[in-house]
Amino acid sequence: MKKLFTEIPYIKTERLVLRKIEETDAEGLSELVHSPSVYRYLPTFLFEQKYEDVHEVIRRLYDECFKESIILGVFMEEEFCGLAEIYGYRENTHKASIGCRFLEHWWGKGVATETVDALVRYLTQKTGIEIITASTMVENKSITRVVEKNGFLLAVSGVGEDWGYPQPTPANKWIWLL
């Protein structure tokens, strides 16, 4: 079994590749981080928005961020679709959390569902993770369907969390158990 945070995963599915983000991915990443529609359902403190220049984000991503979070680009036939993230790793409880975000023109095409499935399979089959969690904004009905399709169960609904907005964000907490 691989231990999380010892290497950057390369995950391949039928249609997608989840891999390390490189300088050549800057245009797609820039489009993503500058999309208000994408980030309306996400915390304000995500790493890819930490620096104004996406090239700086890419240069620092696997040094600064890799200690706490594994962020992978999601690609279909080499085209950038969005980001997948593994975070909140707890070795002693075999637990990790996941998240994802995608360019608008990939919404509704099954990319999120396939990405979440790929993350779950990787974590459970390659790393020994037994508990996977996800947090979603209550308002985001699309991601609710995605996590439900992937076998996540709603653990807590509408809990106020600090997502960086002036008021606590009503969030749903999801859990997937091996």
The model's pLDDT over 125-168, given as tens digits with 9 standing for 90+, comes to 999 999 999 999 999 999 999 999 999 999 999 999 999 999 99
**Residue 83 · residue 100 · CB < 8 Å:** yes
Domains and CATH numbers, the chain: 11-177 (3.40.630.30)
Question: What percent of the chain clears pLDDT 90, i.e. is strictly above it?
Answer: 88
Give residue-wise pLDDT tens across range 71-89: 999 999 999 999 999 999 9
The mean pLDDT value for 55-84 works out to 94
0.85 surpassed by pTM: yes
d(CA 165, CA 163): 6
